[in-house]
Amino acid sequence: MWDDVESFLHHLSVERGISPHTHSAYANDLEQFVAFLSSGCDGALPPPIAWSDVTEAHLISYVEHLADREYSASTRARKIASMKSLFKFLRREQRISQNPAEAMHSPRVGRPLPKALTVEQVDRLLNEVAREATNEGVRDIAMLELLYAAGLRVSELVGLNLRDVDLEEMTVRCVGKGGKERLIPLHEAAVAVLERYLERARPALATKFSGEALFLNRKGQRLTRQGFWLRLQRYAKRSGILTRLTPHTLRHSFATHLLTGGATLRHVQELLGHASIATTQVYTHLTSEHVREQYRKAHPRAG
Q: How far apart are CA 109 and CA 234, in angstroms?
A: 29
Whether residue 303 has pLDDT greater than 70:
no
Q: What is the pLDDT of residue 285?
A: 58
Q: Is the dihedral of CA 262, 265, 267, 269 positive or negative?
A: positive
Amino acid 73: pLDDT: 75
**Per-residue pLDDT at 34 exceeds 80:** yes
Q: Three-state DSSP class for 182?
A: strand
Let me know: does 241 contact 124? Beta carbons within 8 Å: yes
CB 79 within 8 A of CB 288: no
- pTM, two decimal places: 0.61
144 touches 156 (CB < 8 A) = no
CA distances from 285 to 111, 114, 246, 260, 297 (A): 11, 10, 21, 11, 19
Q: How do residues 44-61 score in pLDDT, each as one tens digit?
A: 778 888 898 998 888 888
Residues marked active site are found at 153, 177, 248, 251, 274, 283
At the second CATH level, the architecture of 119-296 is Orthogonal Bundle (1.10)
* pLDDT for res 301: 56
pLDDT at residue 281, as a whole number:
65
Which residue ranges make up each domain of the chain?
A: 2-92, 119-296
Q: What is the CATH number of domain 2-92?
A: 1.10.150
**Would you state the pLDDT for residue 299?**
46
Average pLDDT score over residue span 167-174: 93
pLDDT in tens, 207-236: 999 999 999 999 999 999 888 988 998 999
Handedness of CA 233, 237, 239, 242 (dihedral sign): positive
* Per-residue pLDDT at 96: 92
Dihedral (CA of 25, 29, 34, 39) sign: positive
pLDDT at 87: 92
Q: For 99-148, how does the pLDDT look when each residue is reduced to its tens digit (9 = 90+)? A: 988 877 666 555 555 578 889 999 999 999 999 889 999 999 999 999 99
Separation between Cα atoms, residue 145 and residue 191, nearest integer Å: 9
Q: In this structure, what are the phi and psi dihedrals at residue 202, rounded to the nearest 5 degrees?
A: -65, -45
